[in-house]
Amino acid sequence: MKISVASVPYFWSKEAYGAFYSALSQTPVDIVYLGETVCSKRRSMKFSDWIEIAEVLRDSGKQVVLSTLTLLEAESELKYLTKIARQKDFLIEANDMAAVQVASENGNSFVTGCAINVYNNQSFSRLSRLGMKRWCVPVELGQRDIIPMVSLADKLGVEVEYQVFGRMPLAYSARCFTARHHQLDKDNCQFKCLNDEQGILVKTQDGDSFAQINGIQTQSAKVSNLINRWSELKEAKIDIARIVPVSAEDTLQAVDVLSNSINKKTQSSSTYLAQDYEFCNGYWLQIEGMKFVS
């Protein structure tokens, strides 16, 4: 089973991205996704900066995938997406059907991100004909849900990737929740996302964890954690275990624990992280997604 690290869903500084990916290049991760997937106003990194990091990671033996935005709202965003989807040097993660179209028209293979809703074999077959080489399973699909498509993926030679760690992406909106939280207009957000390494926790009136707001994205407040169930995923014919970054330090630690577990160097634990995360794994077990079963 391969290990992948998804694009950082949060807004970090150029220096923070550089340090994180420099450290990641020294880990046993097989696949690294790069690029902004949430908000086009996050401009600490230019396209050339991402390419520079991509080349360093490729030289260190990683497969690099360039990710596209999930929600397009302007012509400028479509142009930037087109720039990514047309290039030939790296595989593309399509998080919107526009990226699928551009990549396919240019003869490029692509990964379908989990925001593209693939729930049946008809959709799966269609995307495969268009050039899909890897399928990131939508986070709400469990082990029984994916059986028919995993079987088809095996026949079509499409890799299957499943999130094993990180907050789950639940929804996207044209409204920026972070700006609203700070009582700012979206067009005058003052880049407040930069102040929150992992977004902002939202609790219910009773004080329970509810969600994590991250610009226009809503994430689960709890961190999905299937690290100690990697063997179940392997038996289910999942090819790639996907880690979605939280903090830089804890992401690197998650990589280390998962890698050691797969290589049987240590017994993995669901409570290894230094910070006080709440975990969940319900979707994989076909129960409420926010629940956690040891």
Residue-wise pLDDT tens digits, 16-42? 999 999 999 999 999 999 999 999 999
Residue ranges covered by each domain of the chain: 2-167+223-280
Alpha-carbon separation of residue 46 from 14, 187, 248 (angstroms): 9, 20, 20
176 is in an annotated binding site: yes
Number of other residues whose CB lies within 10 A of the CB of residue 6: 26
What's 62's DSSP letter?
A: -
Weakly modelled stretches of the chain, pLDDT under 50: 270-271
193 is in an annotated binding site: yes
What pLDDT does 264 receive? 79
Whether 222 contacts 280, CB under 8 Å = yes
Residue 213, by phi and psi: left (phi above 0), alpha (psi -120 to 50) or beta? beta
What pLDDT does 276 receive? 76
What distance in Å separates the CA atoms of residue 61 and residue 55, rounded to the nearest whole number? Answer: 10
280 is in an annotated binding site: no
What pLDDT does 273 receive? 58
What pLDDT does 263 receive? 87
What pLDDT does 271 receive? 46
Residues 6+ apart with CB under 8 A from 96: 68, 69, 70, 71, 72, 81, 115, 116
What distance in Å separates the CA atoms of residue 197 and residue 95, rounded to the nearest whole number? Answer: 22
pLDDT in tens, 218-250: 999 999 999 999 999 999 999 999 999 999 999
pTM above 0.75, yes or no: yes
What pLDDT does 54 receive? 98
Number of other residues whose CB lies within 10 A of the CB of residue 74: 9
What pLDDT does 277 receive? 92
pLDDT in tens, 246-266: 999 999 999 999 999 998 765
What distance in Å separates the CA atoms of residue 248 and residue 197, rounded to the nearest whole number? Answer: 9
114 is in an annotated binding site: no
Alpha-carbon separation of residue 65 from 32, 110, 187 (angstroms): 6, 9, 30
| Longest Cα separation, the chain | 52
Whether 222 contacts 292, CB under 8 Å = yes
In sequence order, what DSSP letters do the residues of 197-229 get, joined into one string? Answer: BTBEEEE-TTS-EEEEEETTEEEEEEEEE-GGG
CATH class, 2-167+223-280 region:
alpha beta
Q: What angle do CA 190, 15, 47 make, to 5 degrees?
A: 75
292 pairs with which residues across the strands?
none
What's 285's DSSP letter?
A: T
What's the first-to-final CA gap in the chain, in angstroms?
Answer: 22
Length of the chain: 294
